[in-house]
């Protein structure tokens, strides 16, 4: 047995991933005997949270000491790059790689594979992965984490092909009432340019989003996707003074952030952290109708009917009174997607919605998004670094980096 052993552990949406990571770092199970008494480090979005909190509370810049920019203002991919630099600097005996490719663009994924291949010569690696295509080629020992139980696998391709047929013959539930839209043109960007200090982010962006269009927003880490999204949602002050028109109103002409947000459905996986209370699945959907975190009003009969139609569509009606946090990650994402769409907003934004999902759950999610695009008038903006099999956007807006900031290019899909 070599001095530097490497393992792959397949995780599904019912796996106790966090418990397993804790065990590896404190008291490794017998299958990982070689790691006992060794010092481990975690490369994961989970590991970023303490650094973000420390920076926010005490202005302690651990991962970003080389820049004036805060960790919170980094894109998700840039944060992971900063974390990797820190993990390699402290030289642990082993590294846990939790879905390492999530949030990373294809160019950096390739670079990271080369980095990890080099690191593997001196450091043991434990790769936790949800997608079969993501496995590191040099790993030859495989396990599957079922709940909290480790099960040995003989090959690297045990994951079955997904068959997302759950809602094939069911119509998309209709909205209770239409949200008024100022016309076909929802978002208009004209020569949008953004800088943070001396760093150019966006350069002369021109982009129109019309009702009933299905877009994918793509681009390398740090290309400005998050900046552009937050300008559209009203969360970024860089939008003021720009030629940016949202739902018929030029930015800065008197509209409130609430005026914008009530016309946008939005979901990103970090949103689930906001729902820390004991919310039933039915109440989670109902809260989307009133734009609240939790439900604090008595729903009407028609609101209850629409929420139950969505629960039937995504196949978990029988769990309507269950706690949201008791669901698998895959079903949580379906609920949050339905919650964002329940009002049929003019614009639906899905920001890295499949990050961390296993193959089957990601395919289910993608098929639901395709259905919403086909059976509604909502414009959909899907943001992802991963080319999701089966996703059917009509258009792609690709950010391409340059010394002056990222420029944008429209690509029509076949």
User: What's the CA gap between 15 and 146, in Å, rounded?
Assistant: 5
Residue 350: strand pairing partners: 267, 382
Positions of E strands within 102-168: 124-129, 141-146, 149-153
For residue 158, pLDDT beyond 60: no
pLDDT value of residue 159? 47
Angle between helix 329-341 and 281-290 (nearest 10): 30
Q: Select the more confidently predicted residue: 54 or 145.
A: 145
User: Residues 385-391: what's their mean pLDDT?
Assistant: 88
Report residue 110 CA to chain centroid gap.
20
pLDDT band at residue 156, thresholds of 50, 70 and 90?
low
pLDDT value of residue 157? 58
The model's pLDDT over 253-265, given as tens digits with 9 standing for 90+, comes to 666 777 888 899 9
pLDDT value of residue 327? 85
Angstrom distances, CA of residue 349 to CA of 233, 265, 319? 9, 6, 26
3-class DSSP string for 89-114: HHCCCEEEEECCCCCCCHHHHHHHHH
Q: Which two tokens stand for residue 288?
A: 């989307």
The model's pLDDT over 36-92, given as tens digits with 9 standing for 90+, comes to 999 999 999 888 888 888 887 877 777 877 776 777 777 778 888 889 999 999 999
- Say which range, 79-83, 99-103, 183-187, 270-274, has the weakest mean pLDDT: 270-274
pLDDT value of residue 263? 92
User: Residues 338-366: what's their mean pLDDT?
Assistant: 92
DSSP assigned state of 207? E
Report residue 171 CA to chain centroid gap.
26
For residue 97, pLDDT beyond 70: yes
Q: What share of residues in the chain are helix, strand, coil (percent, to 5)?
A: 35, 25, 40
DSSP for 250-269, written as a single string: ETTSS--HHHHHTTEEEE-G
pLDDT value of residue 296? 61
Angstrom distances, CA of residue 325 to CA of 17, 172, 195, 350? 15, 25, 39, 20
For residue 19, pLDDT beyond 90: yes
User: Residues 1-20: what's their mean pLDDT?
Assistant: 84
């Amino acid at each position: 047995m070599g001095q530097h052993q490497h393992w792959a552990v397949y995780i599904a949406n019912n796996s106790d991933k966090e418990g397993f990571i804790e065990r590896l770092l404190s008291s490794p199970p017998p299958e990982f005997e070689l790691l006992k008494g060794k010092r481990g480090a975690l490369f994961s979005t989970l590991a970023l949270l303490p650094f973000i909190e420390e920076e926010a509370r005490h202005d302690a810049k651990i991962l970003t000491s080389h820049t004036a920019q805060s960790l919170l203002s980094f894109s998700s991919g840039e944060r992971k790059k900063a974390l990797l630099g820190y993990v390699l600097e402290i030289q642990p005996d082993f590294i846990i790689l939790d879905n390492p490719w999530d949030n990373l663009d294809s160019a950096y994924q390739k670079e990271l594979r080369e980095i990890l291949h080099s690191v593997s010569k001196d450091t043991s690696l434990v790769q936790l992965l949800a997608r079969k295509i993501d496995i590191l080629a040099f790993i030859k020992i495989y396990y599957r984490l079922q709940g909290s139980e480790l099960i040995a696998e003989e090959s690297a391709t045990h994951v079955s092909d997904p068959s997302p047929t759950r809602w094939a013959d069911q119509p998309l539930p209709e909205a209770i009432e239409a949200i008024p839209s100022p016309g076909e043109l929802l978002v208009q960007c004209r020569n949008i340019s953004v800088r943070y200090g001396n760093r150019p982010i966006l350069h002369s962006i021109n982009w129109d989003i019309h009702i009933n269009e299905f877009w994918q927003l793509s681009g390398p880490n740090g290309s400005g996707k998050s900046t552009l999204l937050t300008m559209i949602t009203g969360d970024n002050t860089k939008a003021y003074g720009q030629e940016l028109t949202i739902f018929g109103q030029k930015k800065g002409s008197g509209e409130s952030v609430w005026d914008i947000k009530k016309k946008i459905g939005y979901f990103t996986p970090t949103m689930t952290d906001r729902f820390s209370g004991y919310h039933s699945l039915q109440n989670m959907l109902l809260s989307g109708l009133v734009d609240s975190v939790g439900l604090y009003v008595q729903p009407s009969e028609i609101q209850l009917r629409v929420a139950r139609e969505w629960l039937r569509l995504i196949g978990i009606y029988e769990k309507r009174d269950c706690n949201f946090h008791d669901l698998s990650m895959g079903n949580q994402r379906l609920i949050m997607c339905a919650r964002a769409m329940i009002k049929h907003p003019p614009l639906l934004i899905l920001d890295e919605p499949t990050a961390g999902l296993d193959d089957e759950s990601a395919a289910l999610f993608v098929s639901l998004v395709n259905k919403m695009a086909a059976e509604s008038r909502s414009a959909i903006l899907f943001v992802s670094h991963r080319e999701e099999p089966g996703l059917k956007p009509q258009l792609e807006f690709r950010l391409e980096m340059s010394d002056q900031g990222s420029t944008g290019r429209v690509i029509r899909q076949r």
